[in-house]
């Protein structure tokens, strides 16, 4: 079997780069391991001789890491079913009936969640206390009475 194809089937970016250096030393080489891995996954999505399961995995890897995928449109729906995207969800609610207060509290809690996510903190044990602290600060700022604990 072709060593480059075998490296792509195995998902071995280092081996694929080594084969590429031997086959085409005059052509550009990936500048980093991340670029080599992305290039390998991009090649796997385009190759019709690669099994669909591997092509679908490479499609998910590329989209999860912010790279474009070259998987044909007709294969994208099956790929999404085989490797679904994980989505984080945060629920924010308040029981106040006053629209201005509701908007202020929800806005403060939303900002706190977005700050956590921007810092890479997605753990509920980190996000929820930050969200509730922002809610308490906003309540103090609006001069609302303390909540019963």
Handedness of CA 106, 107, 112, 116 (dihedral sign): positive
Same domain assignment for residues 55 and 101: no
Same domain assignment for residues 56 and 104: no
What pLDDT tens digit does each residue of the chain (149 aa) get? 799 999 999 999 999 999 999 999 999 999 999 999 999 999 999 999 999 999 999 999 999 999 999 999 999 999 999 999 888 899 999 999 999 999 999 999 999 999 999 999 999 999 999 999 999 999 999 998 887 65
Same domain assignment for residues 73 and 94: no
Cβ atoms of 30 and 39 closer than 8 Å: yes
User: Rounded to the nearest 5°, which phi and psi values hold at 116?
Assistant: -60, -45
The domain boundary residue, chosen from 48, 65, 82: 82
Same domain assignment for residues 16 and 73: yes
Same domain assignment for residues 16 and 57: yes
pTM reported for the whole predicted model = 0.63
Cβ atoms of 16 and 36 closer than 8 Å: yes
Candidates 104, 52, 42; CA nearest to 83 is 52
The domain boundary residue, chosen from 82, 108, 136: 82
Q: What is the residue range of 123's domain?
A: 88-149
Same domain assignment for residues 76 and 113: no
Domain count along the chain:
2
Q: Determine the Cα angle at 34 with ends 8 and 37, to 5°.
A: 10
């Amino acid at each position: 079997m072709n060593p480059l194809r075998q490296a792509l089937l195995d998902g071995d970016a280092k081996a694929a780069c080594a084969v590429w250096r031997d086959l085409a030393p005059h052509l550009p080489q990936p500048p980093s391991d991340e670029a080599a891995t992305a290039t390998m996954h991009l090649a796997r999505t385009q190759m019709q001789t690669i099994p669909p399961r591997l092509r679908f995995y490479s499609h998910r890897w590329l989209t999860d890491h912010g790279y474009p995928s070259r998987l044909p449109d007709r294969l994208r729906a099956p790929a999404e079913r085989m490797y679904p995207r994980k989505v984080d969800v945060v629920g924010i609610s308040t029981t106040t009936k006053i629209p201005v207060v509701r908007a202020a509290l929800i806005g403060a809690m939303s900002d706190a969640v977005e700050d956590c996510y921007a810092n890479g903190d997605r753990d509920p044990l980190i996000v929820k206390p930050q969200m509730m602290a922002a809610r308490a600060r906003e309540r103090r700022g609006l001069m609302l009475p303390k909540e019963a604990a």
